[in-house]
Amino acid sequence: MTLTLARVAEEIGARLDGDGDRVISGLGTIRSAGADQLTFLANPRYRSWLETTSAAAVLCREDEAAACPVNALVVDDPYLAFARISHHFDPAPARPPGIHARAVVADDARVDDSAHVGPNAVIEEGAVLEAGVVVMANSYVGAGAHLGRQVTLWPNVTIYHGVDLGDRTIVHAGSVLGSDGFGYAPDKGHWHKVAQAGGLRVGADVEIGAACTLDRGAVEDTVIGQGVIMDDQVHIAHNVEVGDHTALAGKVGISGSTRIGAHCLLAGMVGVVGHIEICDRVQVMGLSMVSRSIREPGAYGSSLPVDEHAKWRRNVARFRNLDDMYRRLVRLEKRIPGEDSTPGATE
């Protein structure tokens, strides 16, 4: 794929400072891009590489354009512009319409003529694959599942019975959607399984990373809103609701019956307990445990930052003594004349 800089500028609405006939044939980083590649500068941390870049052109903001030694494409948001143009250079091979001879498709499954079903894929009875669906090798689509237009399942994806995927949703390799939630009733030292009678509904334009697990609901459906993005190894338990355009980074785990609002960001390895609510526009820092509802937008965190090991051990030891230190402080304050004791303090 090749593009002229004039076409790039027109497509992303950039101002071009340079040669519109210059041709690019790939993408690169600002440090390593070659003479036929397009790059971008979005993070000021990499500003020092701008003056020495060998790229054909740089996507940059107005305040960086004067320092750019090559062609400049001036935009308000260089990373967004880069994202938009990057799809022209996606190396993923096209999947032609048709059902592979080694695929297994039930007689009453509905597969649009424009869909692709790869080798060893299985499409069970009553499943529906709309226009442009791609089901790659070894993937499984259960009975009564519905895949909206242009849904893509990468290899070895498992879609359980009755799961509904919205248009243009992408599910990466090894993910499992619609498996049973962790529902058991205790009885005299034994566990009795609760039938997971709900379903899983995933909105349009969702992207689900590799090796994710999204459980079906126990009674009502598990629901993933539109435009949600998930990194690899995310787990969504039964009856969870995730609001539109929320982002979940790697290894996030959300326990059952929790509601996550719209436009939230949960960073890597965040854990969320069950039966709570997180409102819209909340950011939770990596490795944090959310153990109560969050009702005000903003940034939250609970993990300890990395530190020099000996100092970290001392701080952990002090943290263990924090309650005792607090109680001692309350007793001392009570002995100081004219000083009020700490409100609500109890021994």
- Catalogue the active-site residues: 238
Spatial CB neighbours of 89, under 8 Å, sequence gap ≥ 6: 1, 26, 27
Nearest partner of 60 among 47, 45, 48, judged by Cα: 47
Contact between 179 and 165 (Cβ < 8 Å): no
Contact between 16 and 5 (Cβ < 8 Å): yes
Distance CA 37, CA 45 (A): 21
CB-count exposure of residue 343 (10 Å: 0-12, 13-18, 19+): exposed
Distances 21 to 2, 7, 59, 168 between C-alpha atoms, Å: 11, 9, 16, 34
Distance CA 21, CA 18 (A): 9
Contact between 116 and 134 (Cβ < 8 Å): yes
Give one DSSP letter per residue of 285-347, joined into a string. Answer: -TT-EE-S-B-S-EEE--PPPP--HHHHHHHHHHHHTHHHHHHHHHHHHHHSTTPPPPTT---
Looking up tokens 């300890």 gives 304
Give one DSSP letter per residue of 111-162, joined into a string. Answer: E-TT-EE-TT-EE-TT-EE-TT-EE-TT-EE-TT-EE-TT-EE-TT-EE-TT
Pairing of β 71-74 and β 15-17: antiparallel
Alpha-carbon torsion angle 104, 110, 115, 121, nearest 10: -20
Nearest partner of 51 among 72, 82, 21, 23, judged by Cα: 72
Distance CA 311, CA 228 (A): 39
Distances 145 to 104, 247, 307 between C-alpha atoms, Å: 15, 25, 49
